[in-house]
Amino acid sequence: MKIRPQRLQQGDTIGIIAPSSPPNQESLEKSLAFLEQLGLKWRFGKNVKNVHGFLAGTDDERLADLHDMFEDPTIKGIICAGGGYGSARYTDRIDLQLMQENPKIFWGFSDITFLHTAMGLYSNLVTFHGPMLASCVGKESFHELSAKMFQQLFEPMELHYTEAITPLETVAGGIARGELVGGNLSLLVKGMGTKFELDTKGKLLLIEDVGEEPYRVDGMLNQLRMAGKLADAAGIIIGDFADAEPRKGKDSLTLAEVFDHYFGNLGIPVVKGFQIGHCQPHFAVPLGVDAQLDANERTLTILPGVE
């Protein structure tokens, strides 16, 4: 069993870090009002406003902020300002033992997938795949359901995703139960062949991505297939694949055809259409907890992520 972090209380202080690319500072400032509405205080990492090319500060600076927030007993949870690129550059230097000894809420998605995977594998920690402050919360498009998903941090609650939220489509039928793992598809593929390679054996694999044409998604799924990651999984949860249209004038398979090719005959339940990923609303989920995917009824049930 993974370690579930302690729930948040009104008045708790959240640490805000930028583990990857520089966040939009205006959107980040706007997002703070939402944290106030939740009854939370916040503290920025020392390097949140740093810019180092396409990175939010040097690798050492971003790593220091991550370590500082886990070490500080006054910080009860950590929410990432944004994603982009760069968290994998220092993942092999993270003190993952520190996180196991100081378990707390860690929330983000997209490029943060690399950190989720590392913490799941080596800190034995439940983490949260959810919308980030500058890239989601501080924008006008931030959806009411996305906002509601933060309540799972204050009270242990079972999450239920049904077609009352969005239409879902069964790619392959059946029912499967297992630990929920995964996240951004391109980041999962980048972990292959490293010590941060995702373990999918007997697990429910969540995938999502943004801005990837069907042939790129095909290539990534083929790599997971050849590595045995798809056949090992108990079930597949297909999140949002935004901006996945092929370039104009280019012959292409549709994304649906790509998914059918890799998942149609796997012999495990597969459902697509979940609003999990680079989308609004963004249905936030804990990673590392048990979940059940019912592809016949098109439902996903996820156990609580906090104690």
Q: Catalytic residue numbers?
A: 110, 208, 278
Task: Give bridge partners of residue 172 from the DSSP assignment.
Answer: 270
What does the alpha-carbon distance between residue 64 and residue 17 come to, in Å, rounded to a whole number?
10
> What's the angle, vertex CA 43, arms to CA 133 and CA 83, rounded to 5?
30
Phi-psi category of residue 203: left, alpha or beta, with phi > 0 → left and psi -120 to 50 → alpha: beta
* 128 C-beta neighbours (distance < 10 Å), count: 26
Question: What is the four-CA torsion angle of 34, 37, 40, 46, rounded to 10 degrees?
Answer: 30
- What are the phi and psi torsion angles at 220 (to 5°)? -70, -45
CB-CB contact of 101 with 112 (8 Å):
no
Q: Which two tokens stand for residue 260?
A: 């059918």
| CA separation for the pair 274, 299 (Å, rounded) | 10
Burial of 208-227, coded b for 16+ CB within 10 Å and e otherwise, reads: bbbebbbebbbebbeebeeb
Counting other chains too, the contacts that 266-269 makes at CB distance below 8 Å and 24 or more residues apart are: 266/172, 266/230, 266/231, 266/236, 267/172, 268/172, 268/174, 268/176, 268/233, 268/234, 268/235, 268/236, 269/170, 269/172, 269/173, 269/174, 269/175, 269/176, 269/235, 269/236, 269/293, 269/294, 269/295, 269/296
Contact 45, 68 (CB under 8 A): yes
